[in-house]
Structure 1
Amino acid sequence: MSMTAQPKSEPEIKDLLRSHGIFPTSQRVIITRLLFEKCTHLSAEDVFRLVNAGNRQVSKATVYNTLGLLAEKGVVREVLADPTRIFYDPNTQPHHHFFDVTSGKLTDISVDQIHVSNLPPLPPGARLEGVDVIVRLRPEK
């Protein structure tokens, strides 16, 4: 995953959150740091498990609410590859994904590797925000 300026220190994480209009509570800093340190696609359950792997006790509600806020404010992207869970992606640059339906693993695809054409006309009053392509894979038998 290629990203520029990955914040990892506590001051960098706090600055990132503030720059997106988010007050940096200790739980928000821990969750955000985890997402950028892992630098991979994590579900809310993954984040909950990893955040609480040490001696911390961060509630499931706090994890879910923080992830929702981070996505709403543009700190991370939500990726809906599986109908049973949302993945959170610290790479907010335009890109697409491979999704292995057997393992549940997401892998980035560079935006220049997929070309979308012939989109239908947009409804009146709408503007295109982006196109996300998820290529679902299954191992050959």
Structure 2
Amino acid sequence: MSAITREQLRTHLRQAGLRATRARLDLAALIFGGGAQHLTAEGLHRRARETGIQTSLATVYNTLNRLTAVGLLQRIVLDSRRTYFDTNTEPHHHLFDEDDGELQDIPAEAVEFLRLPEAPAGRRIESVDIVIRVRRENP
């Protein structure tokens, strides 16, 4: 979503069942106004402050978690210290550069599976999320 208006953001939030508070609208403009992107809460908080949006890190986390809960963002947990939020909610995988912390999309069709394990009784496989980690060959 590039060049999205505040009214479009308001409608988008309401359609997802969320109140369009000022804080959510301000943060949603940063999240959805720049096209597909991978965000961390800390990075979004820093960008908000740089653009004059006065908000707490807790509000940023709450907003990201609510947007994820209603399906507007996808959460990618890389390890106990790193969680990204992805504006691309279509099925896809990721390439993570361990050296620079950059996360990139990999189209779902670029990864092939020969076999998946059987799901436990009474369960079905909902999705498969792959993160391929890379690092410079000669650090």
Establish whether TM, by shorter chain, passes 0.5.
yes
Q: Does residue 28 of structure 1 match 2:24?
A: yes
Picking from 1, 6, 11, the partner of 1:15 is: 11
Q: Is the 8 A contact 1:7 1:33 kept in 2?
A: no
TM-score, normalised by the number of residues in structure 1: 0.90
Give 1:17 deviation, angstroms: 1.0
Give the letter aligned to residue 52 of structure 2. N
Match of 1:64 in 2: 61
Note the residue ranges of structure 1 that are not aligned, 5 or more in a row.
Answer: none
Give the letter aligned to residue 24 of structure 1. A
Match of 2:86 in 1: 89
Deviations 1:110-139 (A, max 9, x none): 111001231111112222221111000001
Q: Secondary structure of 2:78's partner? A: strand
Q: Does residue 126 of structure 1 match 2:107?
A: no
Picking from 46, 50, 55, the partner of 1:49 is: 46
Give 1:7 deviation, angstroms: 7.1
State the 4+ residue runs in structure 1 displaced beyond 4 angstroms: none
CA distance in 2, matches of 1:82, 1:29: 29
Give the letter aligned to residue 8 of structure 1. I
Q: Is the 8 A contact 2:73 2:85 kept in 1?
A: yes
Give the letter aligned to residue 120 of structure 1. P
CA distance in 2, matches of 1:32, 1:14: 9
Matched pairs, number: 137
Identity across matched positions, percent = 36
Picking from 106, 111, 114, the partner of 1:114 is: 111
TM-score, normalised by the number of residues in structure 2: 0.91
Note the residue ranges of structure 2 that are not aligned, 5 or more in a row.
Answer: none
Q: Is the 8 A contact 2:26 2:53 kept in 1?
A: no
